[in-house]
Amino acid sequence: MTKIHLEVLAPTTQTLSPQEDPTCFLPTGKPHVSYSEISDWMDCSERHRLKHVLKIALDKPSVHTEFGRAVHDAMEGFIKTRVLPDPVATKVLFEELCVKLDTDHGIKISDKERDSFSVSIPSILESVPKFLDEEFPGWEGVEAEHALYELISGQDRKYFKGFIDSVIRIPKKKRVAKKTGDMPMRLSEMAGATVDNDAEGWEYWIMDWKTTSWGWAPEKKRDFQKHLQLALYKSFYCKVKNLALDQVKCGFVLLKRTPRKSDGSCVELIPVSVGPKTEEKAIGILNNMINQVRSGRALKNRMSCRFCAYHGTSHCV
């Protein structure tokens, strides 16, 4: 009798990704949150519920958002390749996005309004390389549009999702006092001493590009809700890359349609300090937001009604 050998296969188990596993979903129907969603919640948790839980979408793109998309695309290419951005290509992309505003959303942009934005593209793109070279001597592009999708500490299978516009690095240096004969240099002479790379080698910068008309008011520059975006980006990026907080700095880079009168520059750096206390505060806000959204509670913040798309509609009276 011929013996038949049967291969017994162990049953396989397929692990669902977070996006496929409904048991880790929030009431928003997603297992993750983003900074823009957190910012909506901080402004008004009822607005967050309408927009992200009930999916009542009233916000629409505008000429401002599409201008930002076109310029961001140019910045991404420059950080990746170090090839100077092409103003003509960026103008063409911006014009195409303006056309899509009409065809996709019924938002018509006049030629005059479109041109008022388009005319500033060359000066912005020409200012960025000079700004980076002067502000960050020896800089190297590390990443552009770096995707974050990271587990949130203190939550069960909940993730933070985001995209970092740009990461660069510059040589981290220290002063070395040379001796003249047997005598060490005076402190006043150390300013001209040669420099050597530090043991860590590099200092990293996380940058978020922001297109704007003329800049930000002082209170906006100090706004912690704005800073929260970079605090979260820096915290999760450091964990992903196994970097200490003091190895990474961050800031907003304002790209202005109206150049600065003093020197004609269209670029301004707004540094954002994120140390352990700021990181702890940022993660605390993130967890508070998730816990409240999970509970289903939402409170209307009437101080935030003025510029809210839902104010005065049947959704929020």
Residue-by-residue pLDDT tens, the chain, 317 positions: 444 443 434 444 456 666 667 778 999 999 999 999 999 999 999 999 999 999 999 999 999 999 999 999 999 999 999 998 899 999 999 999 999 999 999 999 999 999 999 999 999 999 999 999 999 999 999 999 999 999 999 899 999 999 999 999 999 865 444 444 443 333 333 333 333 334 368 999 999 999 999 999 999 999 999 999 999 999 999 999 999 999 999 999 999 999 888 778 899 999 999 999 999 999 999 999 999 999 999 999 999 998 899 998 999 97
Which residues, 6+ apart, have CB-to-CB distance to 150 below 8 Å? 159, 160, 236, 239, 240
Which residues, 6+ apart, have CB-to-CB distance to 302 below 8 Å? none
CA distance 296 to 27: 8
Cβ neighbours around 162 below 10 Å, total: 19
pTM for this structure? 0.85
Q: Domains (ranges, CATH) in the chain?
A: 38-179+191-304 (3.90.320.10)
Cβ neighbours around 117 below 10 Å, total: 23
Give the three-state DSSP class for 251.
strand
CA distance 143 to 129: 16
Nearest 5°: the CA angle 54, 60, 63 is 165
Eight-class DSSP state of 246: G
Amino acid identity at 201: G
CA distance 35 to 41: 10
